[in-house]
A and B are shown apart, each in its own frame.
Chain A
Amino acid sequence: MNNSVHYWQALNHALDQQMAADDSIVVLGEDVGLYGGSYRVTEGLYAKYGEWRLRDTPISEGSFTGMGVGAAMVGLRPVVEIMTINFALLALDALINMAAKVPFMSGGQFAMPLVVRVPGGVAKQLAAQHSQRLEQTLMNVPGLRIAVPATPQDAYWQLTQAIHSDEPIILLEHELLYFTQGPLDDSLEAPPMHRAEVCREGQDVTIVTYSRMRDLSLQAASKLAEGGIEAEVIDLRSLRPIDWDTCAASLEKTHRLLVVEEDSGFAGAGAEIIAGLTERCFAELDAQPQRVAGLELPIAYNARLEAASIPRLNDITTAAKTLCDV
């Protein structure tokens, strides 16, 4: 048990452990080899496992992600790093048309043990084209699984589980999470990859969130507690599939639902979460579910506008209070 591991270190540790145990694991991506990854996730691995297992690729997301698909089809277990989700737009053909569909269209003859790691989200003034969150696009693709680890422990667990899985899995890693710290115990048994975590218990309102918004929601919950509102915070950990049971159990207790997402709200993850839970728990709802989401805007470069474009602490506490006031 180590109490202060960086998120990137947890990923690095998982990769190192798995690569040491299984020769068929290879890493593909831009600057993943010699440079050690733009967020240090592959640091030290090039020296240890060599250039055949950590391939520095050209700046061509479509081709190296496609190469990952092909490698997975012929027996390797590739871990593809796409430098940011913004560049993954060029790899959507490989992800959506190939990775997600080959197992289905081949009648199961081909497994797809492909892991695609993608940093994303609003970081620090990277402007509109480098601040996107594309979970809504990927969530709508049957055949893909999407994990959104928010802590070093989850990053370690979920990358390890993804490597072991024969399904194509996309890990959405938030760029501002790489240098956050948290405990990591690699001896703990991992919960199922899609299992949501109740990271704070409360009986007044359920806040469902994921990725970097987990921490903000927990902060908001502490603030709310000062005013007498006990929020239950659920970190989904997985956006496809979604662990409805954990959310539904919470709503049976609180009867109030607030979704916090960094992505813009329209047709986003929150829309699916609210629809899915309304279908399952309609009779439990004591107030109309609410979303706190990013604004319907490209993200501005200006730091203040950037910060105002995505949920802030006050947005969450205000929404939760409104929900609980009635």
Chain B
Amino acid sequence: MREPILMPSLSDTMESGHFIQWLKQPGDAVKKGEAVAEVESDKAIMDVEAFHDGYLAGPLVAEDTDLPVGAVLAYLVGRPEEVSETQAEKPSRTKQAASEKRPATENKSAASPETAVAVEKPATPSSSRPSSSNTTHVKASPYARGLARELGIDLSQLAPAADGSIHGRQVLAAALGRPEARLDDGPAYELQAMTPMQRAVANNMIAAAATPTFRTSARFALGPIRNLAKDKRFSLTLLLARACALTIQKHPRFNAAYTLQGLAQRQQVDVGIAVDVPNGLLTPVLRNVTEKPLNDLQEEWRLLKDRAMGKTPRHRLTPEDYRGATFYLSNLGMFSEVVHFDAVVPVGAAAILAVATVQDGVAEYTLSCDHRVVYGADAARFLHTLGEILDKPQTLLSGD
């Protein structure tokens, strides 16, 4: 056994550390987890622990030097005899090399991983572990290596995938500044491929995270609109969509989308409605909600919902069915525990209204808005108008 002890990475930002001193001497028996040396990161002084039981063997790096993360500090060997073997090979090399190296490491930028470690390299050509550079310790696919080279990513800083190797996915995630969860830190796990829909939702949410958002809440009585829905046998969600649409008509800025060229003011009011489907989320869009008779909308909504739920396998929801709304509605009122929630504004929308459950006859309405399109007072006025409509829901029927 001959395992290298490496300069540990003590923080996410650490690229090199200051090696302070050895706590053990060559030949000392070392237990797994025992401190063998002290190093200083940009934040603190920490112990370097042994990952195995064994005996400390040289060549040892010199004390009081700066070293890159991943540099070989010394070796752990399985038997005491192996210590003397390694020592005997180059008895004076370590000290000599260390004193030679010191001036070089004073200029930190000059000490590239290769040069710093190469000096410490044991002369044994049969050494079972390559140690010429810390990147050669890293297991990575050819594609990942190529990507890392092109994107200037240091592979040794990345957490490998489940198979212990770094793949293109990890490099790309690092390049995009979206580090993936460090899965090695927790218990064992099993990877489940995401369905195309789950992947699409994830991508949409990442895109939506770039939207500067604010939230405004109001409480309105749900009774009147719920009674109307019961009397006229309309879906409550549909009536809420219509209420939103009529409100948008009075506050047309809520029917605009932000673009670099300017605000895209839509000519008709379409409302996207979040639907909870198995393993995913869909937002079919009701078109022209202010102008169509409610009966037509009711039928359209029924068809869209059936398609979204996969009840009509031959007529799946197509992108035309769920794209292009500037306003969205998300209703969790059927979950009696949910007294408050807010929703993520989809890219291309001005706002999304989250409707929670009824408590003492009152439900909480939270409007999440794209602050590039509408401002706080706009949201307040919007909620005021919405409240008026919900108070006198008969206006929803006008025009029918």
Q: Is the C-beta of B96 less than 8 angstroms from some C-beta in chain A?
A: no
Contact with A along B19-53 (1 / 0, CB 8 A): 00000000000000000000000000000000000
A227-B162 CB under 8 A given contacts A283-B146, A286-B168: no
Sort chain A's interface into a size bin: 10 to 19
Q: Give Cα A278–Cα B168 distance, bound, in whole angstroms.
A: 17
Q: Which of B150-184 contact A (CB under 8 A)?
A: 161-163, 165, 167-169
Residues of the B chain whose Cβ atoms lie less than 8 Å from the Cβ of A285: 141-143
Q: Is the C-beta of B199 less than 8 angstroms from some C-beta in chain A?
A: yes
Q: Give Cα A283–Cα B149 distance, bound, in whole angstroms.
A: 11
Q: Are B142 and A283 in contact (CB under 8 A)?
A: yes
Q: Give Cα A283–Cα B168 distance, bound, in whole angstroms.
A: 11
Q: Are B142 and A324 in contact (CB under 8 A)?
A: no
A255-B193 CB under 8 A given contacts A284-B142, A285-B141: no
Residues of the A chain whose Cβ atoms lie less than 8 Å from the Cβ of B204: none
Residues of the A chain whose Cβ atoms lie less than 8 Å from the Cβ of B142: 282-286
Q: Give Cα A282–Cα B140 distance, bound, in whole angstroms.
A: 13
Chain A interface, DSSP helix/strand/loop, else mixed: loop
Q: Residue on A with the closest CB to B145? A: A283
Residues of the A chain whose Cβ atoms lie less than 8 Å from the Cβ of B168: 255, 286
Q: Is the C-beta of B144 less than 8 angstroms from some C-beta in chain A?
A: yes
Q: Are B193 and A227 in contact (CB under 8 A)?
A: yes
Residues of the B chain whose Cβ atoms lie less than 8 Å from the Cβ of A286: 141-144, 167-169
A229-B193 CB under 8 A given contacts A283-B142, A283-B146, A286-B141: yes
Interface centre among B162, B193, B198 (most CB of A within 10 A): B193
Residues of the B chain whose Cβ atoms lie less than 8 Å from the Cβ of A225: 196
Contact with A along B180-214 (1 / 0, CB 8 A): 00000000000101111011000000000000000
Q: Are B194 and A255 in contact (CB under 8 A)?
A: no
Q: How far is the CB of B338 from chain A (nearest CB, A)?
A: 29
Q: Is the C-beta of A287 less than 8 angstroms from some C-beta in chain B?
A: yes
Q: Is the C-beta of A312 less than 8 angstroms from some C-beta in chain B?
A: no
Q: Is the C-beta of A326 less than 8 angstroms from some C-beta in chain B?
A: yes
Q: Is the C-beta of A279 less than 8 angstroms from some C-beta in chain B?
A: no
Residues of the B chain whose Cβ atoms lie less than 8 Å from the Cβ of A195: none
From B141, B161, B169, B196, contact of A228 by CB (8 A)? B196
Q: Which of B122-149 contact A (CB under 8 A)?
A: 141-146
Q: Is the C-beta of A53 less than 8 angstroms from some C-beta in chain B?
A: no
Q: Which of A245-289 contact B (CB under 8 A)?
A: 255, 282-287
Interface centre among A228, A321, A324 (most CB of B within 10 A): A228
Q: Give Cα A283–Cα B194 distance, bound, in whole angstroms.
A: 27
Q: Is the C-beta of A22 less than 8 angstroms from some C-beta in chain B?
A: no
Q: Residue on A with the closest CB to B168? A: A286
Residues of the A chain whose Cβ atoms lie less than 8 Å from the Cβ of B199: 228
Q: Is the C-beta of A325 less than 8 angstroms from some C-beta in chain B?
A: yes
Q: Give Cα A229–Cα B193 distance, bound, in whole angstroms.
A: 7
Residues of the B chain whose Cβ atoms lie less than 8 Å from the Cβ of A287: 141, 167
Q: Give Cα A321–Cα B169 distance, bound, in whole angstroms.
A: 16
Q: Give Cα A324–Cα B167 distance, bound, in whole angstroms.
A: 11
Q: Residue on B with the closest CB to A252? A: B143
Q: How far is the CB of B164 from chain A (nearest CB, A)?
A: 9
Q: How far is the CB of B173 from chain A (nearest CB, A)?
A: 13
Q: Give Cα A284–Cα B198 distance, bound, in whole angstroms.
A: 27
From B145, B146, B162, B198, contact of A326 by CB (8 A)? B162
Interface centre among B141, B146, B163, B198 (most CB of A within 10 A): B141
Q: Give Cα A97–Cα B198 distance, bound, in whole angstroms.
A: 58
Q: Are A324 and B193 in contact (CB under 8 A)?
A: yes
A255-B143 CB under 8 A given contacts A229-B193, A324-B193: yes
Residues of the B chain whose Cβ atoms lie less than 8 Å from the Cβ of A324: 193
Q: Residue on A with the closest CB to B164? A: A326
From A228, A283, A284, contact of B193 by CB (8 A)? A228
Q: How far is the CB of B45 from chain A (nearest CB, A)?
A: 37
Q: Give Cα A48–Cα B167 distance, bound, in whole angstroms.
A: 62
Residues of the A chain whose Cβ atoms lie less than 8 Å from the Cβ of B194: 228
Q: How far is the CB of B143 from chain A (nearest CB, A)?
A: 4
Q: Are A228 and B143 in contact (CB under 8 A)?
A: no
Residues of the A chain whose Cβ atoms lie less than 8 Å from the Cβ of B145: 283
Q: Give Cα A179–Cα B90 distance, bound, in whole angstroms.
A: 75
Q: How far is the CB of A140 from chain B (nearest CB, A)?
A: 27
Q: Are B196 and A326 in contact (CB under 8 A)?
A: no
Q: Give Cα A255–Cα B170 distance, bound, in whole angstroms.
A: 14
Q: Give Cα A77–Cα B145 distance, bound, in whole angstroms.
A: 52
Q: How far is the CB of B184 from chain A (nearest CB, A)?
A: 14
Q: Are A321 and B143 in contact (CB under 8 A)?
A: no
Q: Are A326 and B163 in contact (CB under 8 A)?
A: yes
4 nearest A-B pairs in the assembled complex, by CB-CB distance: A286-B143, A326-B163, A228-B193, A283-B146
Pick 7 A–B contacts, CB within 8 A, sort by A. Answer: A228-B193, A255-B141, A286-B143, A286-B168, A287-B141, A324-B193, A326-B162
Q: Identify 14 new A-B residue pairs, CB closer than 8 A, beyond the known A255-B141, A286-B141.
A: A225-B196, A227-B193, A227-B195, A228-B194, A228-B198, A283-B143, A285-B141, A286-B142, A286-B143, A287-B141, A287-B167, A321-B193, A325-B191, A325-B193
State the A residues within 8 Å of B (CB): 225, 227-230, 255, 282-287, 321, 324-326
